[in-house]
Amino acid sequence: MDVVNPATGECVDTYEEHTESEVDAALARAEDAFASWRDRSVRERERLLADAADVLREHEREYAETMTREMGKPISQAISEVQKCAWLCDHYAEHASAYLDADAHPSPPGTTVTTEYEPLGPVLAVMPWNYPFWQVFRFAAPYLTAGNVGLLKHASNVPGCAAAIADVFERAGYPEDVFQTLLIPGDRVERVVADDRVRAATLTGSGPAGRSLASTAGEHLKKTVLELGGSDPFVVLDDADVQTAASVGAWARNQNGGQSCIAAKRFVVADAVYDEFVDALVANAESLTVGDPTSEDTDVGPQASRELLETLHEQVEASVDAGATVETGGEPLDRDGAFYPPTVLTDVPAGCPADTEELFGPVAAVYRVDGEDAAVRKANDTDFGLGASVWTTDTDRGQRVASRIDAGCVYVNELVKSDPRVPFGGVGESGYGRELSEAGIQEFVNRKTVWVADEPDTDVPTE
């Protein structure tokens, strides 16, 4: 696995893939580790997770620089990502016991009925490169604390991040093999999912990858959670604070180089404020600094690879050929590295790539709509359903519109974000299942009913 710095195009490191025998040995070790890890108390697992948070904070610059080198994230955003992972660990270190505490149910006199939450075993996580720490900790923090053990198959362009995350758990004092990383390409995932020692799998990534993993897991009756792509609408109603919406919208589209499933991608704007909003969005997009991701002043770094940039530009060109107008940007920058500028497209015709596909880069598609009902229809005019954002000075109206949008989460007067305190996930082509909060930690557990009677029931039920 060659690590190519997307800001320079230079190969900066090489990692050897794990052989089949090495993967088999890792699965055996995971199974052995689970046998003892599951018996650790939740309190003990919480303490180890709190130690992992301390490790992240102590080494945040080191881990951030690995991200920046491997996938081009601006260093300030990479540091924030490490800090957010530490916050996530803090959250589950404080609340996992409550989330996993047995639930009591109504029962006849002389009986006690509870639901207990028991771990399943080794869980495979197939994770993407765009948030190479956050996506991994989003699975690892809750699932390990619930008593499962983790097997990470990270994206092939960020093997250093995978190794660094394993280092976090080692430094925190986790038992050996509770968390392992598998350096394998995507075409070897199916065999791991099918292995009897793997009890569940989670994937964050593309629709085709999600379907493939879910198909294999389904054949073997294994639980899965999928967080796939998104084409999030950013709805600006006629009573919105336009300047604030445009400022936040430009950042919501362009942070992390626009390479985010929950980035604002389709800007649905009421006719009454459309011209003002487009002018402000363009001005804010043009004010962002594109450049060296190691500089603290950089807002937008390179795309994660030259191939990803080329795919994005092909989508932009096809949309322009179909009739879209480029308000700003629209061409790769003439410099070393995979740099694409913040781009705004208007007059986006139905059926073009900017309208129907996920543009995984700093390209905003803007639509003019006539009124609230039209805005809701356009927001829902997608097969994706991950997140959405609604902008209005009337919060009651915002909540009413939010309830009509088909998505896993809708934020009113906020950009879409994932937060440890609330469930996160999508519907439709954006996947299923939930991460984070109580819902996330309970995804990969056995919800076991335990019925205890003081005395045997002599009245044998009929069924």
Q: List the chain residues with pLDDT less than 50.
A: none
Tell me how far CA of residue 186 lies from CA of 150, 182, 213, 261, in angstroms.
Answer: 18, 11, 10, 20
Domain ranges of the chain: 2-228+426-450, 232-412
Which is it for strands 2-5 and 10-14: parallel, antiparallel or unpaired?
antiparallel
What is the per-residue pLDDT across 260-305, written as a single tens digit (0 to 9) for each? 999 999 999 999 999 999 999 999 999 999 999 999 999 999 999 9
pLDDT of residue 11: 96
- State residue 462's pLDDT score: 59
Structure token pair of residue 96: 């996992």
| One-letter amino acid for residue 253 of the chain | R
> Tokens 């900066």, residue?
12
Tens of pLDDT, residues 24-50: 999 999 999 999 999 999 999 999 999
Count of helix runs (H) and strand runs (E) in the chain: 15, 18
- Catalytic one of 227, 358, 435, 443: 227
Q: Is residue 386 a contact partner of residue 377, using CB atoms and an 8 Å limit?
A: no
Predicted pLDDT of residue 463: 65
Distance CA 87, CA 93 (A): 10
CA distances from 283 to 60, 267, 303, 304, 330 (A): 33, 15, 22, 25, 15
Instruction: For residue 268, give every residue at least 6 positions away whose Cβ sits within 8 Å of its Cβ, in sequence order, or none.
Output: 233, 234, 235, 236, 367, 369, 375, 378, 379
Residue 11 falls in the annotated catalytic set = no
**Is the separation of the CB atoms in 109 and 43 below 8 Å?**
no
- Whether 409 is catalytic is no
Non-local CB neighbours of 21 within 8 Å, separated by 6+ positions: none
* Tokens 């065999």 belong to residue: 191
Report domain 2-228+426-450's class.
Answer: alpha beta
Q: What is the pTM of this model?
A: 0.96
What is the sign, positive or negative, of the torsion defined by CA atoms of 35, 38, 44, 48?
A: positive
pLDDT of residue 460: 61
CATH topology for 232-412 is Aldehyde Dehydrogenase; Chain A, domain 2 (3.40.309)
Supply the DSSP symbol for 47.
H
Residue with tokens 């600006």: 236
Q: Left (φ > 0), alpha (ψ -120 to 50) or beta: where does 140 sit? A: alpha
Residue 457's pLDDT is 73
In whole angstroms, give the CA distance from residue 242 to residue 376. 18
Show the beta-strand stretches assigned E in 276-402: 325-328, 343-346, 363-369, 387-391
pLDDT of residue 170: 98
Given the residues 261, 372, 409, 429, select the one marked as catalytic.
Answer: 261
* Kind of pairing between the strands at 122-126 and 111-119: unpaired
Scored b (16 or more CB within 10 A) or e, 296-312 reads eebbbbbbbbeebbebb
